[in-house]
């Protein structure tokens, strides 16, 4: 009987047949897929014919179809709907996959074919896209250790296998801490909480099997609890648990894991001839060097810290007026900031939230994509991996463009955060394939589901990533969609957030959950006026995390990451009442895998561009200017990694921006 993962998928648009796949199918499917992939690689490496772009690079592009099927399905469910069986499979798969891909990158016969092509690149008569794919493929093999020999080669493979296992352990430890902790609330403890927080706490209590409402470590519940609970003792207990994720001792403690990861990354970089892991990582990014990253972050840190310090004085005074003596603490900031927002902007999140229905915000994201790029979205009735998921067919002018899947609600089986991934990426070789793209979020469930303003911004952010995947129009999958420099990949997502704040978008789609009435003009104006409220806090918690990440990887790896974290925060004068957005033991961006290691700064690097890019629309015909939308699609959204990121941005805007646009956009300097 054919394994359903490896069968020909006869589902609509060849979406994975989730209803036919069981956890028992993954291990045998992976073994079969790895064998098939190895056979394909051996055939390329051992080809007696002289290397050509077709028989080597294009052959590599075409190889691994079965692997793509297995890994796309498995990692989708492992991240968004885990269970003990899947966690065990992930622990088993990590070293196997690391060894498998290391074996490919260290295949000397294969590397020699690529090196031969690279040495003759000027004589191969390649298209611009083919030349780019050759460069990236060759560089990828070199950076993976393909040119290493003997003991160095063997050591590199050991390092990559160990890093894969450690990243999996880090992720699973964090998930366990987030899943297992909760704080029960009595009916008296609910006093002062808005109805939407109470409803979320009751639903969380039911999920946990508790006798009543609970606070969990899901961001969609703990953040509003910290914002609204007048009980300082409960806020402190909840915040300390949130901040301690991954640092509670015992089997789920991530501190030693993070130290070993940093040591192995440094060794890996030095095997490849780099002074530090940051030098290695940034070589292929827009920033290029650690110094340029530090320069950007410190340009932002000064104004952000000044704003946060001034805000802290105001919040401390408010706290003292409540009869609370002593310093403002991290579990106080959100509570008093929310009170201040209500006082200064007359904006109450509890009153705002009914206007931000999840379904209406999805409609808003779709409607903006329709006006900008002509995309249309029709619901699809197909089996998916969880009952919370929804799917849409994406078309343009009647032509199929993509399948889009949304998985929006928090649950214990889902890792925290929000992300976009492609179960299948766009390509035209070796066959034409349309993308299947997923947005995964962690919003609170409700009837109807209501979002905070930050939640709505997250929805638009992830949909910006989805557009980058869906509008991709390149030949080769390796440069498709979001396969771009890490510090460029956040540009489309952060840029798309701006459309949420377009007044006509909110006026149309921010309608009240009960009455259906549009958001009153007065409230709309307050929302837009308060958009930069508390930016000192938000910028400080982010930049502090980015500076710690950079310090971890720029120079010798610290033996004690927690001590290094404390040292960096002391050096920059981290305000006492603000915690890092991601402290080391739960910094999954950096330690769950290599994605954002030495790269957490990327959001801010991209934000420098996104503020400037949206200004291009405003300088033209407004947010929906058709010429700017066309230029954005042609030069950025459709091009994937087919050219250098800097070249793509210059083609769109005609120049590179400075940090001033970002500082003005965040309200940290006068506009």
Total length of the chain? 671
**Can you tell me the distance from the alpha carbon of 204 to that of 442, in angstroms, rounded to the nearest whole number?**
13
Q: For strands 399-409 and 390-396, give the pairing.
A: antiparallel
User: Do the Cβ atoms of 377 and 394 come closer than 8 Å?
Assistant: yes
Q: What is the DSSP annotation of 468-486? A: HHHT---SBGGGSTT-S-H
Q: How many Cβ atoms sit within 10 Å of the Cβ of residue 262?
A: 23
Dist CA 134 CA 61 (whole Å): 11
CA angle 359/360/363 to nearest 5° reads 90
How far apart CA 448 and CA 418 sit, in angstroms, is 20
What secondary structure does DSSP assign to 272-314, as a single string?
A: TT-SSHHHHHHTTSSS-SHHHHHHHHHHHHHHHHHHHHHHHHH
Integer-rounded Cα Rg, in Å, for the chain is 25
Nearest to residue 456, comparing CAs of 514, 488, 489, 498? 498
- Active site annotation includes 267: no
Residue 559: strand, helix, or coil: coil
Q: Of residues 338, 462, 477, 490, which has the active-site annotation?
A: 462
- 645-653 and 486-497 helices cross at what angle (nearest 10)? 30
> How far is residue 113's CA from residue 107's CA, in Å, rounded to a whole number?
10
Active-site residues: which are they?
462
């Amino acid at each position: 009987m054919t394994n359903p993962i490896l069968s020909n998928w006869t589902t609509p648009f060849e979406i994975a047949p989730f209803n036919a796949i069981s956890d028992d199918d993954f291990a045998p499917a992976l073994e079969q897929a790895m064998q098939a992939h190895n056979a394909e690689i051996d055939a390329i490496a051992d080809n007696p014919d002289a290397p050509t772009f077709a028989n080597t690079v294009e052959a590599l592009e075409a190889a691994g179809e079965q692997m793509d099927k297995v890994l796309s399905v498995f990692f989708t469910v492992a991240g968004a709907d885990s269970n003990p069986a899947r966690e065990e499979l992930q622990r088993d798969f990590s070293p196997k996959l690391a060894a498998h891909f290391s074996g490919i990158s260290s295949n000397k016969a294969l590397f020699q074919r690529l090196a031969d092509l690279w040495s003759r690149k000027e004589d191969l008569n390649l298209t611009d896209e083919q030349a780019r794919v050759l460069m990236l493929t060759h560089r990828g093999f070199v950076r993976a250790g393909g040119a290493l020999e003997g003991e160095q080669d063997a050591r590199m493979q050991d390092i990559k296998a160990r890093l894969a296992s450690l990243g999996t352990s880090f992720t699973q430890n964090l998930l366990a801490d987030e899943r297992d902790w909760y704080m029960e609330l009595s009916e008296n403890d609910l006093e002062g909480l808005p109805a939407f927080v109470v409803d979320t706490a009751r639903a969380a209590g039911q999920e946990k099997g508790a006798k009543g409402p609970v606070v969990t470590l899901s961001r969609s519940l703990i953040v509003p609890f910290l914002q609204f609970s007048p009980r300082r003792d409960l806020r402190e207990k909840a915040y300390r648990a949130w901040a301690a994720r991954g640092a509670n001792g015992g089997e789920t403690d991530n501190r030693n894991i993070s130290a070993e990861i940093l040591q192995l990354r440094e060794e890996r970089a030095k095997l490849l001839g780099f002074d530090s892991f940051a030098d290695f990582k940034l070589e292929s990014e827009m920033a290029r060097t650690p110094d340029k990253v530090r320069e950007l972050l410190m340009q932002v840190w000064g104004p952000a810290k000044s704003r946060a310090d001034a805000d802290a004085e105001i919040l401390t005074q408010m706290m003292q007026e409540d009869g609370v003596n002593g310093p403002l603490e991290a579990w106080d900031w959100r509570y008093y900031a929310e009170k201040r927002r209500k006082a200064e902007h007359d904006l109450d999140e509890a009153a705002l939230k009914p206007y931000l229905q999840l379904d209406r915000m999805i409609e808003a994201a779709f409607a903006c994509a329709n006006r900008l790029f002509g995309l249309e979205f029709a619901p699809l009735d197909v089996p998916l991996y969880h009952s919370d998921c929804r799917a849409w067919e994406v078309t343009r002018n009647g032509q199929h463009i993509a399948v889009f899947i949304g998985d929006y609600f928090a649950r214990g089986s889902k890792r925290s955060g929000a992300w976009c991934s492609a179960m299948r990426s766009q390509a035209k070789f070796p066959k034409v394939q349309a993308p299947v793209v997923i947005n995964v979020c962690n919003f609170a469930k409700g009837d109807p589901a209501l979002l905070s303003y930050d939640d709505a911004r997250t929805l638009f952010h992830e949909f910006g990533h989805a557009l980058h995947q869906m509008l991709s129009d390149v030949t080769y999958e390796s440069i498709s969609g979001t396969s771009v420099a890490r510090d460029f990949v956040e540009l489309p997502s952060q840029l798309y957030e701006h459309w949420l704040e377009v007044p006509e978008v909110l006026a149309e789609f921010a309608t009240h959950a009960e009455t259906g009435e549009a958001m009153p003009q007065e409230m709309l104006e307050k929302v837009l006026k308060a958009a930069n409220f508390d930016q000192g806090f938000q910028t400080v918690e982010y930049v502090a995390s980015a500076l710690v990440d950079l310090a971890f990887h720029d120079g010798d790896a610290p033996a004690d990451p927690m001590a290094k974290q404390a040292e960096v925060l002391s050096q920059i004068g981290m305000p006492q009442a603000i915690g890092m957005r991601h402290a080391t033991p739960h910094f999954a961006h950096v330690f769950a895998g290599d994605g954002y290691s030495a790269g957490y700064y990327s959001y801010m690097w991209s934000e420098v561009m996104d503020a400037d890019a949206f200004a291009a629309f405003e300088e033209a015909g407004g947010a929906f200017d058709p010429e700017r939308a066309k230029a954005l699609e042609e030069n950025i959204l459709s091009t994937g990694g087919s050219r250098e990121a800097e070249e793509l941005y210059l083609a769109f805007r005609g120049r590179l921006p400075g940090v001033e646009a970002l500082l003005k956009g965040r309200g940290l300097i006068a506009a």
